[in-house]
Amino acid sequence: MIAQIRPSELSAWLQTARADSTPVVLDVREAAELCLASVKSDGFLLLTIPMSQLVARLDELDPQQAIACLCHHGGRSMQVAAFLQSRGFSHVANIVGGINAWSGELDSSVPRY
């Protein structure tokens, strides 16, 4: 089962991450979307790998790292989280509501689009 976390719950979820590796927020939005809005790394490593490139770039991710997937509203990130889990990634979550909810719950300086 893939954890479904709200942006406001991310900090607590990150605390469950393994102490020997930095947790990752994996932003799977496309380049044009990244130009519109992005999050600031705070207690995690922010990686941007568009969903369309994930298979080709999968080796950039560590299956032992805690990875919370982010997109615009949560649909694509859920698909990516399920894909990662099917490939043996053991600590994966979907950020429900995506960057849109991030703006509303964590950081209103993040533009909504």
* Residue in 17, 54, 66, 71 annotated catalytic: 71
- Active site annotation includes 71: yes
pLDDT of 15 above 90: no
pLDDT reading at 19 higher than 70: no
Residues 75-89: pLDDT tens digits?
999 999 999 999 999
State pLDDT tens for residues 44-56: 999 999 999 999 9
Contact 7, 106 (CB under 8 A): yes
CA-derived radius of gyration, the chain = 13
Give pTM, 2 decimals. Answer: 0.94
Residue 75: count of CB within 10 angstroms of its CB? 11
- Top CATH class of 3-105 equals alpha beta
Share of the chain above pLDDT 90, in %: 86
Helix (H) or strand (E) holding 67: strand 67-70
pLDDT value at position 77?
98
What pLDDT does 18 receive? 63
